[in-house]
Amino acid sequence: MVGKKRILEIVKNFTRARVLVIGDLMVDHFIWGKVSRISPEAPVPVVEVARESLLLGGSANVMNNILSVGGRVAAAGVIGADDMGRWLLGECRRRKIGMEGIVTERKRPTTIKTRIVAHSQQMVRFDREKMDPIRQDSVRRIVDYLRFGVKEFQAIVVSDYSKGVVSEELLDGIRTAAGRRPPVCVDPKRNDFHIYHGLDVITPNHHEAARAAGLERAVETAGDRKLEPLAIGETILERFGFKAVLITRGEEGMDLFERGSAVHFPAVAKEVYDVTGAGDTVIGLFALAVAAGADFKEAAYIANQAAGIVVGKVGTATVTREELMQAL
């Protein structure tokens, strides 16, 4: 289905492709340590902290995945006027990520997810965030940025983590500004996909897809027989008007549905250590491949290979260009 020469040509074009990522910017804070005893105060493990790290998270992790394989990227979203917001801006500047679409709201904190990891296992996570919708003037600024700069991009990603950035008004603005080009790919978090109607590609996991298709109960009761994924994919295509649906299914790989076409991509991971951020890898590499000239099948093939690499790493990880080339 996908020739080696053609794939190498697409990957070579990564450096000339530019993607805009719109969505919920976050900081992933990791506390790494080890456990050797139980607390005398409560039956909980005591983590001896060895080190801490800050990483780009949420829609910023999508950007990081694009950068790590040689693509160019710009950000649109909202941060707070706080230390984590300033750290995020500094990282964008250092990595040469376009920042003109980032809006600062003074009364809104930058979203931070803190994970405590010991012996390669996540012990607990706590979030600091505000999930209320962003201000109307922030929505207008993001839409205006897109409207005036849309010609600079070969693909757009909408990374929706339900933290308040992606709204119906913002999506209407994206549809109007993008028109027929560039293609818009969305990683959803809503149960109802009507809010994303008419966008080009959607990349839900199998649970999100079943809920959107109204078939979640059928999936739960199917047991070992399992519901035919084709019914879910075709229902979503018809109901919401997407050009393609890429459903990620964990250890069972991915399914790509286009009108009149369904393709299964088997999982390629040798060992799964951590699925944190794997969805960001899929949407990021898929959109970058499309921006580099791939059709949807070729882009799904590349994204599947990248996902197989990233789940073999612990934490919010990315795929390097060298790792991807070796896998391909």
Percent of all residues in the chain with a pLDDT value above 90, rounded to a whole number: 71
> How many residues appear in the chain?
328
Contacts (Cβ under 8 Å, ≥6 apart) of 233: 209, 245, 247, 255, 257, 262
The letter for the amino acid at 63 is: M
Percent of all residues in the chain with a pLDDT value above 70, rounded to a whole number: 91
pLDDT band at 227 (very low <50, low <70, confident <90, very high): low
User: Is the full-model pTM beyond 0.85?
Assistant: yes
As a whole number of angstroms, the distance between CA 269 and CA 271 comes to 6
As a whole number of angstroms, the distance between CA 10 and CA 294 comes to 6
Q: Which residues are catalytic?
A: 280
What backbone torsions phi and psi does residue 295 show, to the nearest 5 degrees? -80, 175
Report the pLDDT value the prediction gives residue 242, as an integer from 0 to 100.
95
Mean pLDDT of 272-289: 78
pLDDT band at 10 (very low <50, low <70, confident <90, very high): very high
pLDDT > 80? residue 65: yes
Report the pLDDT value the prediction gives residue 325, as an integer from 0 to 100.
84
- What is the DSSP annotation of 262-289? EEEE----S--S--TTHHHHHHHHHHHH
Look up residue 168 and give its two tokens. Answer: 């119906």
pLDDT band at 260 (very low <50, low <70, confident <90, very high): confident
Half-sphere exposure at residue 13, Cβ-oriented, CA atoms within 13 angstroms: 19
Report the pLDDT value the prediction gives residue 274, as an integer from 0 to 100.
45
Mean pLDDT of 67-74: 95
Q: Which residue has the tokens 């149960």?
A: 191
Q: CB of 64 within 8 A of CB of 89?
A: no
pLDDT > 50? residue 225: no
As a whole number of angstroms, the distance between CA 44 and CA 233 comes to 43
CATH 2.40.10.10 assigned to 4-27+47-327: no
As a whole number of angstroms, the distance between CA 276 and CA 308 comes to 13
Q: Please state the separation of Cα 281 from the chain's center in Å.
A: 6
Average model confidence (pLDDT) across the chain: 89
As a whole number of angstroms, the distance between CA 43 and CA 172 comes to 50
pLDDT band at 229 (very low <50, low <70, confident <90, very high): confident
pLDDT in tens, 90-144: 999 999 999 999 999 999 999 999 999 998 888 999 999 999 999 999 999 999 9
As a whole number of angstroms, the distance between CA 264 and CA 230 comes to 10
